[in-house]
Structure 1
Amino acid sequence: VANEKAGLLPVTLLPDFGSHPVSLALGILGMPGNTAYFGLKEICKPNPGETIVITGAAGAVGSHVGQIGKLLGCRVVGFAGTDDKCEYLEKELGFDRAYNYKTVDIRAALKDGCPKRVDCYFDNVGGEISSTIINYMNKYGRVAVCGSISSYNETKLPKVSILQPAIVLKELKIEGFLVNRWTDRWNEGIEANLKWLEEGKLKYQEKIYHGFDNMVDALVGILRGENTG
């Protein structure tokens, strides 16, 4: 299988999903699930009791990162784009706190939701919100840079605060990644997520569009943040 950015990729035989729909191979038991699994465990490497902050927290990757964080014994705080998404994160997925980034003061939200500041930041968004979160991190904090949603529809890159002083003084580790780094361990992630799913420890939502004539609407909806999970 060829990918213009990653080159040739091996074909992986999926494990038996049991009673779960095969469509989960496009979500929690596929690339998004493995992005969450490896990005959090291999780059953020959270310890029990630490605080994880996630932007784009109601998306397929972010919602999964938060649930894994809770399974690892961490405090999990998320930022999403609607009040309904925030309610879903808290009441359905078990996030400790979730905030609508469009209506809150980010610094005030961090003080409220992260009384011990931030140890791990899973960044799906980039932009000024990421600068604010990184400046609120603890010494030796870890940042997994997964995406840059804030700039996907922009014609030029947004201006953000200078982060070098915080990175140096707090000795932060900031690392970008693509999930195909762990191609040789692909089924490890799927099997771990499947086990948690079978045990009732993971939840998911699917937004399904039927018919090829709806593909454009589906893509536009994703870029507008209309999907949850």
Structure 2
Amino acid sequence: MDYNELITTILLSVKMATLATIINLPIALFISLIITKGDFHGKSLLDGVINLPLVMPPVTIGYLLLIILGKNGLVGSIIFKWFNIRVAFTPAAVVITSMVVSFPLIYKSIKISLEMLDKKLEGVAKTLGASRYSILLRVTLPQIIPGIINGVVLGFARCLGEFGATMTFAGNISGVTRTIPLAVYSKLQIPGEEGYAALLVTISILISFLALVISNIFEKKIKKRGN
């Protein structure tokens, strides 16, 4: 068993999932606020587009990303021509793919928390002269932190388990784009490597379980402070 390859695969998976989740979080929060508090035409359509990756086959998502951001894609060709940067089949492609497939989960969790928010508290703060940003920072965000944490955990776990879209758009390059699911798939194609694949699956489960435990700890601390 190649332990260097094992460690590289695990670290790459955790790094890509973490980076995608960190980038997604502020975007999801911003769009959730616009959707829940805004009043404009096409809001339902926007919500549907955002949630589309939840019901689309992962390979289809990867194919669309390839058409848009591939070297000869609609946007990818421009990026390559102007900046000589190739997006597809690079670590950046792993992050982008992870962001696309996990974004709806983070967005949906935050949006539900905002919809369940006690609007009276915001109203009271407004009558006391608090500004919109002050209400957001001191009233709204503290109340939806459990939803944010839940979204982050779900998004991270989704990134960690992504296979089809990553395989299509980022490829399965050892040490570059090969995440845990791709490594499991690769090892299962080689006779005698079933144990390696089983170890990767076990590690993936442990990482996801650890994320859930940390999430529960934070939620309990937040609830205690609220009480």
TM bracket (short chain)? under 0.3
Higher helix proportion: 2
Q: Which has the higher contact order (CA 8 A, sep 6+)?
A: 2
Larger radius of gyration: 2
TM-score calculated relative to the size of structure 1 = 0.25
